[in-house]
Amino acid sequence: SKLDYIEGMGYDAIWISPVIANTENGYHGYWAKNLNEINEYFGTEDDLIALANELHERDMLLMIDVVINHMGQTDAILPTADYDYAYDYSEFVPFDNEDYYHDSCSYTTICDKYCSIGDFNFYTNIEGIEKCRLAGLPDLDQSYADTASELCYWVQNSVQDKWMADALRLDTVPEVAIEHWEAFLSEDCINDDTFNVGEYLYWDSVLIGQFQPTLDSLFG
């Protein structure tokens, strides 16, 4: 209903939050529960498709925020000691068992006692940033072939083909190894003309530069 206003200001694209269904209290979109369902706070899948169609009729573009680093907040299974924070993954779709995730609690030298990222030093602890949980969120293991395959299928068939995204905003870029971004952004998964911009919450051009030309652009 605001597209007339947005177009009238001279904008030719909009960027929306992750649209998938979230775990409890995940109103913002970044705590994925089911990649195949739409977040009820945002509307329905028909609403999203109607938005995409209306934008394209105006020669405007749609950028959808996507998260491939982690799933949503969930409770640990009765932790009894440090590094004993196992999760029940059965509520997640399609990543419903531990095989899809990093075994963050096994990395006792690089993760904190809660199996999360304790040291955000992008120069000395990049392995921990990639393999430990971000604020306790279940950390997807993109090196596991089935995880990578499911993410590829989802972005290709849902985000692009069904929801008609013209561009992707990529969340938590440094938390996913470059080689996995290369696979996710390859022509096997996304259209060659699908633009992307990555989020890297640090300012050093040396660090950010490592992700180009894999990503089209980044911001800190």
Catalytic residues: 171, 199
Tokens of 144: 């596991």
Cβ atoms within 10 A of the Cβ of 193, count?
Answer: 7
Residue 3 and residue 206: Cα distance in Å, rounded? 38
Judged on CB neighbours under 10 Å (0-12, 13-18, 19+), 196 is: buried
Buried b (16+ CB within 10 A) or exposed e, 127-148: ebbbbbbbebbbbbbbeeeebb
Inter-CA distances, 22 with 14, 58, 72, 172, Å: 22, 30, 7, 17
Q: Which of 36, 216, 3, 204 is nearest to 120 (CA)?
A: 204
Judged on CB neighbours under 10 Å (0-12, 13-18, 19+), 161 is: exposed
